[in-house]
Structure 1
Amino acid sequence: MPAWLAWWLVLNLATVLVYGYDKAIAGGKRRRVPERWLLALALLGGSPGALFAMRLFRHKTAKPSFRRAMMLIVTAQVVVMLVLLTRNP
């Protein structure tokens, strides 16, 4: 397995776990995971895990500003991937 793929898989697993942790402690006395960290995980490449976790845990789905930021991140990543895949070597 290429190192980048292993890194990407671990990052996405960690993203799912962090989103799950934040959902689990929501409404309690513990300090929440800041939204900027949740979005940073997505931006670093964990957006598939973030989208999966948002749906799985129904976490941050009712907050329009967070959903908008997530969709901007995903859109930018898709555009970058398309550019990289379609450029001539």
Structure 2
Amino acid sequence: MQGTAIALAILNALTVVLYGLDKSAARRGDRRIPENMLHLLAVMGGWPGAFLAQRLFHHKTEKRAFQCVFLLTVLANGACLLWMIRQ
């Protein structure tokens, strides 16, 4: 259980960093991190870090399609958590 918590902490920290790098790249007009990668990190359990980064960097908050997919990743994580608790 402790290993899982550490892995999730690292995943969420990585997610925050990648959102920050993507926001920085967007401002400079450089190559961006693909949205699919950001969604993959969220669905793997990095959604709290993604949520924090979106607010911290004001990044991807206005893009409706991105937010819809992000919401689905949060709901999928919630459903998996409920399923695991009920087992």
TM-score range, shorter chain: over 0.9
TM-score, normalised on structure 1? Answer: 0.90
Letter matched to residue 74 of structure 2 = V
Letter matched to residue 86 of structure 1 = R
Structure 1: unaligned runs, 5 residues or longer = none
Aligned length: 87
User: Segments of 4+ in structure 1 off by > 3 A?
Assistant: none
Letter matched to residue 23 of structure 2 = K
| Bigger radius of gyration | 1
What is the Cα-based RMSD across aligned positions, in Å? 1.3
In structure 1, C-alpha distance between the alignment counterparts of 2:48 and 2:81, rounded to whole Å: 14
Give the percent of matched residue pairs that are identical in Structure 1 and Structure 2.
Answer: 40
- Larger helix proportion, structure 1 or 2? 2
1:17 aligns with 2:17: yes
CA contact (8 A) 2:43 2:76 kept: no
In structure 1, C-alpha distance between the alignment counterparts of 2:19 and 2:78, rounded to whole Å: 22
Letter matched to residue 44 of structure 1 = M
Q: How does 1:32-43 map to 2 (within 5 A)?
A: 32-43=32-43
